[in-house]
Amino acid sequence: MNQTTEKPVLLDKEAVSDLRFPEPDVLFNVAAIAKRKVEIERAVYLGNTEHTKVRIVFEDTAGLKQIETTIWGSTDKRIILKSGMVIPIHRILEVKI
């Protein structure tokens, strides 16, 4: 995760559709990017088999945000939440189960 003292703003998952996401990746380290991919894959599996909610910390144009929800699916570029809402993977700092 980025070395910052900024606390993420807790949002309802429904608010995600109103957010704007810049293009650059929030992670710069190859190992951190690989770890994020593994965390997302595990969260998708648990979301589909056990309906497990996860904490997702991500950054939009306004700063750090956090939601607690189930990840239903993912593509190579986005995670898919309930009701078809998406978050670009390149803006996710961490996924905690």
Domain boundaries, the chain: 13-96
Kindly state the percentage of the chain with pLDDT values over 90. 90
pLDDT tens digits, 77-88: 999 998 889 999
CB within 8 Å of 68: residues ≥ 6 apart: 10, 13, 53, 54, 55, 56
pLDDT of the residue at 60? 97
pLDDT of the residue at 1? 46
Q: In whole numbers, what is the pLDDT of the chain averaged over residues?
A: 94
The residue whose two tokens read 């929800």 is 69
* The CATH number of domain 13-96, selected from 3.90.230.10, 3.40.50.261, 2.30.30.100, 3.30.450.20: 2.30.30.100
Asked if residues 91 and 35 have their Cβ atoms less than 8 Å apart, the reply is no
pLDDT of the residue at 78? 98
| Average pLDDT score over residue span 53-78 | 97
